[in-house]
Structure 1
Amino acid sequence: MKNKHYFLSLFLLTSFLFSFYSCIDKKQHTTSLPALNDSILSTKLLNSERTKIKFGSYGIDVLRQNSKLRVSNLYSIHGNKNITRTFAVVQYPDTINKAFLKEHTEILKGGSIGKVFKQNHWNIEKKSFYFGEISPSAAYEKLYALMGDISPCKLAIYTYGFNIKKDTNSYLYATISEVYQPDYLTLNDLRKMNPDANKYLNETAFIKTLNLVKNEMTVNYHKLETVH
């Protein structure tokens, strides 16, 4: 009888300890997730760096380019397919300052804008212009296909001035509009990354830029150049 009580007590103690340590483990695992998510949403990351961290790879297709405009597909590789994570429309100023002409030339050859300036020791600052969402439309079916054949849905968009600085000199290099695949970034994610995002929800001042972006989203592009 004593043995029976002994084994019963041992079983109950073992069960309690297992449940206790399992609970601790789950709590530790749960609390580690926000830190990982926070690191992905850090504003210190370039778009290329964030994409690579989140999806394991990064590349660029330059889809259209001239002296005033560049349209690019920033993607990750899933299996044997490129999945668009960011569709970027870049508007250059009328005149390119000779202070960053070397970097601009690299970019025209297909280089990643943020990476080129960072590697050449420029400080980069994004000046927010607009945060919003583009409503679903069958007109964007080509872009939905590039984004992994997703169903029509709202797509977060962020428009900003890409400012660069070296020594005491600062310049606006371009105005950039980025449209994000929902698995990559949502408007809620952008708000977490930019606490002042609610100040820039009015699209009225940027309707011309938004119309340009929406028009580019309907185009069936032919790849011009790929950079890994």
Structure 2
Amino acid sequence: MKNKTHVYVLLLSVGLLCNLGCDYIKKNPESLSVAYDSILSPELLNSERIKMKYGNYAIKILSDDSKTRISNLYSSQGDKTITRTFAVVNYSEVIDPTFLEAHKKIVKGGSIGRVFKNNGWEIEKESIFFGEVSPSKDLSKVYALMGNIPNSELAMYMYGFHIEKDKKRFQYATIIEIYHPDYLTLHDLKSIYKDADRYLERSPFIEQTIEGIIQITRELKP
């Protein structure tokens, strides 16, 4: 009889906890974790995806000149920052007057997708390559930016960044992004971009590009 009473009390307690938990969730919807599928929506900007997954987002420009920008897209945990995307941007040779003001904001440290979106431009990414960068001691500075992770295989995406407004279309840049393994893997990229399998070939040009990225990381200032 004591055992039956004990079981009844236990079930009653569990039911009460479940009711309290459901009531808390209804009152505090932000307590729910973000759905995996929503994070992988192709409609999201990279900055929006980082903020959605980690709760915050910021960008730091590591290097910038008239041709190339190297940036660190990161989230913060307390006083610690963790790079979620290491990005190399090669600007197009001609900056059309139509988007010159937006370009000036980007040069000053603005997030590329966010600046153009806020200025009414439609954004399109034309995929060039999806793949992975093999673990290498040459990437030690990137691993350090990513929270001192061990030598790891990192997903990579290379694409042409195009903008369109008022029936005018331009290629603003070619962008190469390398992702923290906790943020995006190659599997995740394939979920976001359904045609990714068409762009997996590691041509001599891609190999040269990857080597160029590695060279850039070697030259990063501490």
**In the aligned structure 1, how far is the partner of 2:126 from the partner of 2:103?**
19
Tell me which amino acid in the other structure corresponds to 2:51. K
Equivalent position of 1:209 in the other structure:
209
Shift of 1:35: 7.4
> Is the Cα contact below 8 Å between 1:92 and 1:175 reproduced in 2?
yes
**Does structure 2 retain, via aligned residues, the 8 Å contact 1:143–1:218?**
no
Secondary structure, aligned partner of 1:67: coil
Give the equivalent residue in structure 2 for 1:160.
Answer: 159
Scaled by the length of structure 2, what TM-score is found? 0.84
Partner of 2:77: 78
Q: Say what the alpha-carbon RMSD is for the aligned residues.
A: 2.8
2: CA distance between counterparts of 1:34 and 1:41? 14
Deviation, 1:140, is 1.0
Structure 2 unaligned regions, length at least 5: 22-31
* Native 8 Å contact 1:58 1:75 kept in 2: yes
Higher relative contact order (CA 8 A, sep 6+): 1
Determine the C-alpha separation between the residues in 1 that align with 2:99 and 2:69: 17
Q: One-letter code of the match for 2:59?
A: I
The aligned counterpart of 1:193 is 192
Cα distance in 2 between the residues matched to 1:131 and 1:218:
22
Q: Following the alignment from structure 2 to structure 1, what is the Cα–Cα distance between the partners of residues 124 and 85? A: 19
Matched, 1:219 2:216: no
Q: Which protein is bigger by CA-based radius of gyration?
A: 1
Alpha-carbon contact 2:138-2:214 (below 8 Å) kept = no
Supply the AA of the counterpart residue of 2:151.
Answer: P
**Which residue of the partner structure matches residue 175 of structure 1?**
174
In the alignment, which residue of structure 2 is the partner of 1:146?
145
SS in 2 for 1:50: helix
Q: Which runs of 4+ in 1 moved over 6 A?
A: none
Matched residue SS, 1:217 = helix
Structure-1-length-normalised TM-score: 0.82
User: Post-superposition shift, 1:215?
Assistant: 1.4
How far apart, CA to CA, are the structure 2 residues paired with 1:107 and 1:90?
11
